Amino acid sequence: IPSVLISGNTVYGAHIWNAVYAGGKWFYSDSTWGGNYFDPGTEAFLSEHTSGVIQAFQVETEDGLLIGYDNGVAVIGVTNGITTVDIPDMYKDLYITSVPIGLFNAQYGIKTVNVGQYINNINSQMSSSTLEAINVVESNPYYASKDGVLFTNDMSSILIYP
Sign of the Cα pseudo-torsion (38, 40, 41, 43, in order): negative
CA distances from 121 to 14, 19, 118 (A): 19, 23, 9
Question: Degrees (nearest 5) of the Cα angle 117, 102, 108?
Answer: 95
* b/e code 9-36 from CB counts within 10 Å (16+ = b): ebeeeebebebbeeeeeebbbbeebeee
Tens digits of pLDDT across the chain (162 residues) = 788 889 999 988 999 988 888 888 888 888 887 767 788 888 888 888 888 888 877 899 999 999 999 988 999 999 988 999 999 999 988 899 999 988 988 888 999 999 999 999 998 887 788 999 999 999 999 999 999 999 999 999 999 999
pTM for the whole thing?
Answer: 0.78
* Cα separation, 92 vs 106, whole angstroms: 28
